[in-house]
Amino acid sequence: MSDELITITSGGLTASINPLGAELWSLKDAGGRELMTDADPRWWTGHAPLLFPFVGRSRGDVYRLGVHEFSMPQHGFARRLPFAQVEHHAETVTFRLEADTATRALYPFDFRLDMQFAVAGATLMMTAKVMNRDEADMPFAFGYHPAFAWPLPFGGTVEEHRVLFEKPEPAPIRKVGREPGLISLESRPSPVEGNRLAPTHAMFEGDALIWDQLESHSLIWGVPGRTRLKIDFPDTPWLGLWQKPGAPYLCVEPWAGMADPVGFEGDVWDKPGIMCLLPGDERRFRMNVTLLES
């Protein structure tokens, strides 16, 4: 782990965050058991990147804004940039990323992204606040990408783990299409039975499972009858689940926005899920993780 990690603790949970990307690197229970990925480079070196100003991949890693074209890496640039620490107490810390010359070359808007982490009892509360300090309407998307341990350290096998959605999820899902990282135009039958998903590594051989007709804003991850994680995402309408097939983690990714569809050639304002932030306005996105005892 980096020497730069900033730690907050409530006793019930301890979270460690890297200012590079304001990325949650570790979440441990009161017994010191790790609830997240070990970031083994054989699989994926990420932990929980923040996705801003776009979610997913732009076709050709380029997006169009009027008559101009701009380069944009997959999931945006925030995850690769250092955030300033603006507040730190025993149970809370806030980081900030602001537009500069480098970001304006990719995204010509005067934004501010504040990311707050707070722990209380057995809950980690994450709140992203996106602000438009520009004089023009600002197109943007935002997403979370945390990788939770699979299996969790509370007993039970990989095969016994379940995703229990807040509500039944019968709608078809989306997958990545023939262009790498882009969303297929065709939907697939939902793998959810009622509100219960029994994930397998094989499910992710074609990349992420994507819910763009999601009814739930909460789910529970883990083995029924054992300590599990309740994950709430009240401000994001879509969800991705992902792993490198066979890896010891499952990414639970609440999104407001997603990758371009296969063949997309439109303006940034036509991208799926793009939001408009008016000059001087702000928007918040919350994600809470709570330990549920059996």
Structural domains in the chain plus CATH codes: 6-292 (2.70.98.10)
Residue 162's pLDDT is 98
Assess contact for 39 and 47: CB atoms under 8 A.
Answer: yes
* CB distance 183 to 259 below 8 Å: yes
pLDDT tens digits for 201-251? 999 999 999 999 999 999 999 999 999 999 999 999 999 999 999 999 999
Give the tens place of pLDDT for each residue, 37-50.
999 999 999 999 99
Cα separation of 96 and 19, whole Å?
Answer: 9
- Which pLDDT does position 294 carry in this prediction? 78
Residue 32, pLDDT score: 97
pLDDT in tens, 146-194: 999 999 999 999 999 999 999 999 999 999 999 999 999 999 999 999 9
For residues 28 and 34, is the Cβ–Cβ distance under 8 A? yes
Percent of the chain at pLDDT above 70?
A: 99
> Could you report the per-residue pLDDT of 38-83, keeping only the tens digit for each?
999 999 999 999 999 999 999 999 999 999 999 999 999 999 999 9
CA distance 268 to 76: 13
Reported pTM: 0.97
Average pLDDT, the chain: 97
Q: Which residues lie closer than 8 Å to 3 by C-beta, 6 or more apart?
A: none
The pLDDT tens digits of the residues spanning 102-154 come to 999 999 999 999 999 999 999 999 999 999 999 999 999 999 999 999 999 99
- Cα–Cα distance for residue pair 115/222, rounded to 1 Å: 27
Separation of alpha carbons 146 and 249, rounded Å = 9
At residue 2 the predicted structure's pLDDT band, cuts being 50, 70 and 90, is very low
- Of the pLDDT bands very low, low, confident and very high (cuts 50, 70, 90), residue 1 is very low
pLDDT of residue 3: 55
What is the distance between the alpha carbons of residues 47 and 252, in angstroms, rounded to a whole number? Answer: 11
- pLDDT tens for residues 250-268? 999 999 999 999 999 999 9
